């Protein structure tokens, strides 16, 4: 008969808090325990898991690959535990949620999820910020946001709960003609955008001339510029519009590298209302037909 190993939720909560705060002292302060007690709990979890989970280099705390793997599952276990307790105790979902949505991704999809949540939970006040992914992640880091959707180049990343991968595609207007004797006209977000970087890297690797013909912060402006025939851009398939066509290697456009989209939050900061919204987003993403969906560590 198979022998099951039980991961205790109090140990997992300590582990997730250490992963979020990267400090045994701060974790102890948040959880009401001493620093030595936190260290003992991490060691106990490592004994149960049978793996080294945390490494300390000077004052720097890092997760091992096994720790990264456990982290995503730990967040999920704690989220389900806390939601079960809240439901059993019939907790009222109150307070204000500060949510970040990226201008460099499909905002509409997540706005619809949040709108349904707001309609079902009128006592919860929502403070939604739309900005660049890198700025949203910085805001989460300094506790100016409770949760955010963000695009990153690499995964896993700090505070990510789940993530999925998408490969952007080249797009232009259906009747747009590209002059092979002139530099390719690119429609792009400003410097720092992962889509822009992928386009430029791909073109430079093939030695193709290009110039930025239209630049805007918002994806809707880029979409309109494409439809008006002002050049080509990189979009995810969810942000393609009628009247656009995809450009492929057979058209002379190299495949673009994948980008990663994730749901980020600090579990130690989560209210019952936040956990409920996270559950709703997680459930929706489960049916979101994308190439990769991963519990992140």
∠ Cα 267 25 100 (to 5°): 30
pLDDT digits (tens, 9 = 90+) for 215-274: 998 888 999 999 999 999 999 888 899 999 999 999 999 999 998 898 898 776 667 788
pLDDT of residue 268: 67
Question: Quick one: pLDDT at residue 89?
Answer: 66
* Candidate from 16-30, 56-70, 229-243, 272-286 with smallest mean pLDDT: 272-286
The predicted model gives 36-63 an average pLDDT of 90
**pLDDT of res. 296:** 53
Q: Are 296 and 71 spatial neighbours (Cβ–Cβ below 8 Å)?
A: yes
Is residue 2 pLDDT above 60, yes or no?
no
- Residue 29, pLDDT > 70, answer yes
Per-residue pLDDT at 94 exceeds 70? no
**Distances 252 to 94, 192, 205, 247 between C-alpha atoms, Å:** 54, 25, 13, 8
Q: Is 122 exposed, middle or buried (0-12, 13-18, 19+ CB in 10 A)?
A: exposed
Q: Is the pLDDT of residue 81 over 90?
A: no
- Percent of the chain with pLDDT strictly greater than 70: 91
pLDDT in tens, 182-215: 999 999 998 888 899 999 999 999 999 999 999 9
In angstroms, rounded to a whole number, what is the distance separating the alpha carbons of residues 227 and 24?
53
- The number of helix segments (H) and strand segments (E) in the chain equals 9, 13
**Prior bond of 156 cis (ω within 30°):** yes
* Contact between residue 82 and residue 275 where contact means Cβ atoms under 8 Å apart: yes
Listed residue (191, 248, 242) closest to 216, CA to CA: 191
């Amino acid at each position: 008969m198979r022998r099951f190993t039980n991961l205790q939720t109090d140990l997992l909560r300590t582990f997730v808090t250490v992963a979020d705060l990267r400090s045994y002292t701060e974790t102890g302060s948040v959880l009401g325990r001493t620093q030595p007690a936190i260290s003992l709990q991490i060691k106990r979890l490592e004994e149960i898991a049978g793996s080294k989970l945390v490494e300390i280099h000077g004052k720097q705390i890092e997760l091992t690959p096994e720790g990264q793997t456990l982290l995503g599952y730990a967040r999920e276990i704690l989220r389900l535990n806390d939601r079960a307790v809240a439901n059993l105790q019939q907790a009222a979902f109150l307070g204000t949620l500060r949510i970040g949505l990226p201008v460099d991704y499909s905002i509409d999809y997540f706005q619809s999820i949040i709108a349904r949540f707001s309609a079902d939970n009128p006592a919860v006040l929502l403070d939604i910020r739309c900005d660049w992914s890198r700025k949203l992640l910085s805001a989460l880091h300094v506790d100016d946001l409770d949760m955010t959707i963000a695009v990153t180049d690499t995964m896993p990343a700090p505070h990510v709960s789940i993530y999925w991968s998408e490969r952007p595609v080249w797009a232009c207007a259906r009747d747009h003609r590209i002059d092979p004797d002139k530099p390719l006209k690119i429609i792009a977000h400003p410097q720092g955008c992962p889509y822009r970087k992928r386009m430029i890297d791909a073109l430079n690797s093939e030695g193709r001339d290009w110039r930025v013909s239209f630049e805007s912060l918002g994806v809707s402006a880029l979409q309109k510029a494409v439809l008006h025939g002002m050049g080509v851009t990189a979009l995810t398939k969810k942000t393609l519009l009628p009247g656009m066509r995809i450009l492929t290697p057979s058209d002379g456009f190299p495949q673009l590298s994948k980008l990663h989209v994730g749901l980020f939050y600090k579990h130690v900061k989560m209210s019952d209302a936040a956990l409920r919204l996270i559950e709703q987003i997680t459930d929706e993403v489960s049916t979101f037909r994308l190439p990769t969906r991963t519990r992140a560590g």
